[in-house]
């Protein structure tokens, strides 16, 4: 049902001298207090007289049932002289007391009641919805204000107008969800567009039913629309993301919602007997993550510490809060990966999270490939999405990771063995018989990205102490990899659907190769929305990827601050 505005305020708002938004069929004020809202089309007494007389002759009982007769009684509006003088009018007909005392002619503006009907200005009939209409409902009789099943009264004596028959029924019940949304704060023009942009931040086409993306698009949005703190934080997220794309950081709109969300957070925490809720923790999490995405590191660090302190309190035992813990862990892991600092990861209240190993991610990659990550008919390849060359490189890396984490510490002897194995890898790849026509263009690009990632991994691990450090940290192949990743669609290429572990391995390895923290934040920001759609509250894939990234960063720390044998790796 379309909604348009009337040129004059409604009768209840005008009688109480309240501001009216003039929405038809009901203004916002009358809707909020469940009050009957009536509009009258004002017509000049000196013009359009025949139209009014014609209307009164055709609809006398309709006007009389609403108490609108102009012959006797009380008028619903003040006379013209009292309106111009801004004096109180008794509204008596035919002459009010003020005009009678001053012996002046009393004139009233003629009017007609705006009844909803099939010929109204809206796109569809403005009466009862089809699921609430009685059995004898007819649009013509509705225009006359009659709901009789037989239709013999012709609108003369029935008087069962729509608004009078349902005077005790809320307009929300009558019209359903056809009015504007009630926001928890004062309405502004940009709310609808910001909420729409926030919903588009997470790709939902491939998201799993139990993924965090589904949780954000359902539970998060439902809770934010009724809580001012989480609502401000949600609008801040959308506005900050737009600022990042438009290269206009700290816009007035973003700053406003940021300050308002932080203000409500402080007020809630300062209350005696404060108890952690979903909305409070969600607002702190949103502020920390999108401040980090906006390169506001100091503010992100402050909000992240506040989020950790909040999560250390007693948690609620509902399912929604467990999913929120997963989102909070994703934020903490992202901040840890970019800021190079250790932050605690929280387990859901109903279960404990097992600590992954650095090689767990690559084990999942090979397990997915062995079970056929993509249909053989689609790629015409026996191993699915990854070819033999990519799988061979991943197996060598997995063997090296298992040897260095479960066996002896990383020693020069192990590095020499890894260099020898890596040098022989090219000869073994040449012996593989691979048809160049196998696989689509996207599949070939994905395998090329996996091969480049493997070379970047060995460039980080097998760094020679005498070579150039900058060449090790940001090799030319890293720039080639980032350019290829920008051309591949993770959704349409089937990468996220059939090989999500390989996708995470490529992105986290490239993140470890960047030397600039700003490049790391930009790179991780692209991958996090996709990982949210394929991971649940346990964050198995993200935690394994984070453990692998920590291992790579520890390797870099060995070369930056000492020899490989001086420090122990995680075991």
Q: Residue 135 pLDDT > 50, yes or no?
A: no
Torsion 428-388-541-520 (CA) sign: positive
Do residues 383 and 391 lie in contact, with contact meaning Cβ atoms separated by under 8 Å?
yes
Decide if pLDDT at 242 tops 60.
Answer: yes
Taking residues 417-432, what's their average pLDDT? 50
pLDDT of residue 370: 75
Highest mean pLDDT: which range of 118-127, 181-190, 472-481: 181-190
Q: Give the list of residues 6+ apart from residue 553 with CB closer than 8 angstroms, or none.
A: 340, 512
| Residue, of 145 and 526, whose pLDDT is higher | 526
Lowest mean pLDDT among 32-41, 49-58, 281-290, 463-472: 49-58
Residues 464, 385 share a domain: yes
Reduced to 3 states (helix: H, G, I; strand: E, B; else coil), residue 5 is strand
Residue 418 has a pLDDT of 58
Long-range contacts of 310-319 (CB under 8 A, 24+ apart): 310/269, 310/276, 310/280, 310/281, 310/284, 311/276, 311/281, 311/346, 313/275, 313/276, 314/275, 314/276, 315/276, 315/349, 316/276, 316/277, 316/278, 316/349, 317/349, 317/350, 318/278
Q: Could you tell me which residues come within 8 angstroms of residue 290 by beta carbon, excluding any fewer than 6 positions away?
A: 236, 237, 240, 241
Average pLDDT value for residue range 258-270: 93
User: Does a structural domain hold residue 568?
Assistant: no
Distance (Å, rounded) from C-alpha 361 to C-alpha 544? 5
Whether residue 389 is predicted with pLDDT greater than 90 in this model: the reply is: no
At residue 207, the pLDDT reads 81
In a domain, 233, yes or no: yes
Domain boundary among 127, 150, 167: 127
Q: Is the pLDDT score of 289 beyond 80?
A: yes
**283 and 414, same structural domain?**
no
Residue 228, pLDDT > 80, answer yes
What pLDDT score was predicted for residue 28? Answer: 86
Identify the band that residue 506 occupies on the pLDDT scale cut at 50, 70 and 90: very high
Cβ count within 10 A of residue 233: 28
Residue identified by tokens 């702190």 is 284
Whether residue 392 lies inside any domain: the answer is: yes
The total of structural domains in the chain comes to: 3
CA dist 345 and 326 (Å) reads 9
Q: Which ranges in 314-406 belong to alpha helices (H)?
A: 319-339, 360-370, 376-379, 388-406
Same domain, 454 and 544: yes
Q: Does one domain contain both 229 and 316?
A: yes
Shared domain for 112 and 198, answered yes or no, is no
- Whether 278 and 393 share a structural domain: no
Task: Grade residue 279 by pLDDT with cuts at 50, 70 and 90.
Answer: very high
Q: Of 93, 127, 161, which residue constitutes the final position of a domain?
A: 127
Is residue 347 situated within a structural domain?
A: no
Phi, psi (degrees; rounded to nearest 5) at 293: -65, -25
More confident residue, 433 or 399: 399
In tens, the pLDDT along 488-505 reads 888 777 788 888 888 899
Segment 30-50, tens digit of pLDDT: 888 878 788 775 443 333 333
349 belongs to a structural domain: no
How high is the pLDDT of residue 244? 85
- Residues 287 and 332 both lie in one domain: yes
Instruction: Based on the fold, state whether residues 109 and 247 are members of the same structural domain.
Output: no
User: What mean pLDDT is reported for the chain?
Assistant: 72
Cα–Cα distances (Å) from 337 to 324, 552, 562, in that order, read 20, 11, 22
pLDDT given for residue 439 in this prediction: 44
Same domain, 118 and 12: yes
Highest mean pLDDT among 238-252, 316-330, 343-357, 450-464: 238-252
Residue 386 in domain: yes
Domain of 17?
Answer: 4-127
Share of residues in the chain with pLDDT > 90 (%) = 11
Place of tokens 């502020």: 287
Judged against a pLDDT cut of 50, whether residue 172 lies above it is answered with: no
Cα dihedral: 56, 57, 62, 66 (round 10): 30
Q: Residue 233 pLDDT > 90, yes or no?
A: yes
The whole-number pLDDT of residue 126 equals 38
Residues 521 and 405 in one domain: yes
429 pLDDT above the threshold of 50 = no
pLDDT above 80 (res 277): yes
Predicted pLDDT at 470: 44
pLDDT at 464: 42
Higher pLDDT residue, 371 or 437?
A: 371
Please indicate, yes or no, whether residues 290 and 413 belong to a single structural domain of this protein. Answer: no
Q: Is residue 533 part of a domain?
A: yes
The confidence score (pLDDT) of residue 258 equals: 93
Torsion, Cα 225 229 234 236, to 10 degrees, reads 140
pLDDT band, very low/low/confident/very high, at 354 (cuts 50, 70, 90): low
**Roughly how many angstroms between the first and final C-alpha of the chain, as a whole number?**
64
Q: Which helix (H) or strand (E) holds 73?
A: strand 73-74
Of 495, 531, 519, nearest in space to 327 by CA? 531
Structural domain contains residue 22:
yes
Q: Which two tokens stand for residue 373?
A: 């990550």
Residue 435 has pLDDT above 70, yes or no: no
Pair 278, 379 in one domain: no
- pLDDT tens figures, 84-108: 888 889 888 888 999 988 888 888 8
The winner for highest mean pLDDT among 273-287, 426-440, 483-497, 541-555 is: 273-287
Q: How far apart are alpha carbons 110 and 491 in whole angstroms?
A: 64
């Amino acid at each position: 049902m379309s909604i348009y505005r009337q040129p004059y305020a409604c009768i209840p708002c005008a009688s109480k001298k309240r501001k009216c938004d003039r929405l038809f069929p009901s203004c916002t004020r009358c809707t909020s207090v469940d009050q009957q809202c009536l509009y009258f089309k004002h017509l000049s007494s000196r013009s359009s007289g025949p139209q009014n007389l014609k209307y009164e002759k055709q609809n006398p009982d309709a006007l009389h049932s609403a108490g609108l007769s102009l012959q006797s009684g009380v008028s619903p509006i003040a006379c013209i002289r009292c309106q111009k003088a801004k004096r109180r009018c008794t509204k008596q007909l035919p002459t009010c007391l003020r005009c009678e005392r001053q012996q002046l002619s009393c004139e009233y503006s003629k009017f007609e009641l705006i009844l909803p009907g099939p010929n109204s200005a809206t796109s569809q009939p403005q009466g009862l919805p089809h699921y609430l209409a009685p059995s004898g409902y007819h649009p013509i009789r509705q225009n006359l204000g009659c709901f009789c099943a037989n239709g013999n009264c012709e609108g003369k004596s029935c008087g069962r107008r729509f608004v009078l028959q349902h005077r005790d029924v809320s307009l929300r019940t009558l019209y359903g969800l056809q009015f504007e949304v009630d926001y928890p704060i004062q309405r502004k023009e940009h709310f609808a567009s910001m909420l729409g942009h926030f919903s588009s931040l997470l790709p939902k086409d491939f998201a799993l039913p139990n993924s965090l993306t589904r949780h954000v698009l359902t539970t998060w949005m439902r809770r934010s629309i009724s809580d001012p703190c989480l609502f401000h934080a949600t609008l801040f997220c959308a506005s900050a993301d737009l600022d990042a794309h438009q290269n206009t950081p700290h816009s007035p709109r973003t700053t406003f919602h940021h300050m308002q969300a932080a203000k409500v957070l402080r007020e809630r925490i300062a209350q005696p007997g404060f108890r952690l809720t979903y909305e409070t923790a969600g607002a702190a999490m949103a502020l920390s993550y999108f401040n980090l995405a906006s390169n506001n590191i100091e503010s992100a660090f402050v909000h992240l510490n506040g989020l950790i302190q909040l999560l250390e309190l007693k948690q609620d035992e509902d399912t929604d809060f467990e999913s929120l813990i997963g989102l909070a862990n994703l934020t903490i892991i992202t901040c840890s990966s970019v800021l190079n600092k250790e932050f605690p990861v929280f387990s859901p209240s109903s279960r404990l999270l097992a600590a992954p190993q650095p090689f767990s991610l690559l084990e999942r990659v090979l397990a997915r490939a062995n079970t056929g990550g993509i249909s053989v008919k689609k790629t015409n390849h026996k191993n699915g999405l990854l070819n033999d060359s990519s799988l061979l490189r991943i197996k060598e890396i997995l063997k090296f990771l298992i040897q260095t984490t479960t066996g002896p510490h990383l020693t020069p002897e192990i590095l020499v063995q890894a260099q020898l194995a890596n040098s022989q890898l090219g000869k073994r790849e040449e012996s593989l018989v691979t048809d160049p026509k196998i696989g689509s263009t996207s599949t070939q690009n994905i395998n090329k990205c996996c091969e480049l990632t493997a070379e970047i991994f060995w460039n980080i691990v097998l760094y020679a102490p005498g070579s150039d450090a900058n060449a090790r940290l940001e090799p030319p192949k890293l720039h080639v990899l980032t350019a290829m990743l920008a051309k591949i669609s993770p959704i349409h290429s089937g990468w996220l659907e059939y090989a999500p572990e390989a996708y995470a391995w490529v992105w986290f390895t490239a993140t470890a190769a960047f030397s600039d923290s700003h490049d790391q934040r930009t790179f991780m920001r692209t991958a996090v929305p996709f990982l949210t759609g394929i991971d649940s509250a346990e964050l198995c894939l993200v935690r394994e990827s984070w453990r692998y990234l920590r291992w790579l960063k520890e390797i870099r720390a060995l070369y930056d601050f000492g020899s490989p044998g001086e420090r122990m790796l995680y075991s």
